[in-house]
Amino acid sequence: MKELEDRELRKLRELSNKCSANKKVQEYVRDVCFRIKELLIHYSRDTKQDAKKVLEKYLGHTAAPASFSTGQIPAKYITKAIDAGNIRERITLIMNFCMSGCSVILWALEKNKYFTQASIDVLHKRLYNLTGISDIAKINKYMKRCERKGCILPCKFVSLASDGAVSASRLSAYPLNNALREPRVKKIDRYYVKVKDVYPKLSKYELEYIKVNCKYEIKNNNNKLQWISGLQYWEVNEDNFYIKLMRHYKQMVVCGPSGNTDLNLSIFRLFDNFDINLAIFACISQMCNTPDHSPCEILLAALPYGLDDWAIDQDSFKYIYKKLKMYR
């Protein structure tokens, strides 16, 4: 695989920083966090659970794999981060919910509220197609029984791709053994994220998490963080369809189409404040700093969610910068 040059890393981080610094992007991410928090509080009351424990279960760092350490904070600071945290902390909380919130979403569907009616209607239809059961209460009961037995719930039903198509980030290219990416055999030193590369600056909550949970103390701005970026973890297969397509159109390749964008947009689109552009900017803020993905890889994953004015033959950086000007 062709390695990213330093100038390309700078280009990614500059775009990420622009998205992170944009007030409307910050407000959008904050508002989604507020909506998820409110959803979880209602869920805790209805299920007679302690609200603090529910927030920690679905938004805390234990909801995500241990490798997802970027932006994580100690669970005791979740409410403070929602109210006044930086954009990275808040997007990380949303991502944690993406990975854990299936049963809560099922509960909200049973109550027939908290999400837009259009979202509820689509999810009801998807669940019927998935299970053959039209009664959401019966589906919920069955899912809960599976969850108690350690079954992995089909959380991807929350996808609201408008045409019902498999999203770009999940599509397998033929032949099936022609994988998109594989873990790197050898780490590349300059791909480690240094403290000075991080924007916004690490918060006191993030620093505490790094010290306590990662057993690592930062001493200066040149210290390497324990974060393992997508760029550091994955090596793409140059023979894969998507990688060849991106190379053909001179798009920047980091890891291929973004699965985390797929998850984020699945949650963003549930709520009545969904804005496809702001949602994409939020994903770029999160994933282009470390980096985990390029803007093209994020845009590819956004296509099934309503992105209709970009195609892979367009310069993805120019497209995002032009769109950002509309959200000053």
Per residue in 260-289, pLDDT (tens digit) is 998 899 899 999 999 999 999 999 999 999
Counts for the chain of helices (H) and strands (E), in that order: 15, 2
What whole-number distance in Å separates Cα of residue 73 and Cα of residue 80? 10
Cα–Cα distance between 117 and 270 in angstroms, integer? 9
Amino acid 150: pLDDT: 64
Tell me, what's the pLDDT at 163?
A: 44
Element (H, E) at 183: strand 181-183
Could you give the count of Cα atoms lying within 13 Å of 313 in the half-sphere of its Cβ?
0
pLDDT of residue 124: 85
What CA–CA distance (Å, rounded) separates 28 from 279? 8
**pTM, entire model:** 0.92
| pLDDT (0 to 100) of residue 222 | 92
Which DSSP symbol is given to 202? P
C-beta separation of 246 from 312 below 8 A: yes
**Rg of the chain on CA atoms, in Å:** 20
DSSP symbol at 157: G
pLDDT at 160: 44
Q: What is the pLDDT of residue 164?
A: 40
> Rounded to an integer, what is the distance from CA 155 to the centroid of its chain?
14
- DSSP string across 87-100: HHHHHHHHHHHHHH
- Quick one: DSSP state of residue 206? H
What is the pLDDT, as a whole number, of residue 178? 65
| Composition of the chain by helix, strand, coil, percent to 5 | 60, 0, 40
Per-residue pLDDT, 131: 80
| Mean pLDDT, 10 residues at a time, the chain of 328 residues | 90 98 99 98 98 98 90 98 98 94 90 93 82 86 74 52 46 57 89 96 97 91 92 92 95 93 92 98 98 97 93 98 97
SS3 call for 114 = coil
- Beta carbons within 8 Å of 257's beta carbon, 6+ residues apart: 168, 169, 171, 180, 242, 297, 300, 301
For residue 304, the model assigns a pLDDT of 87
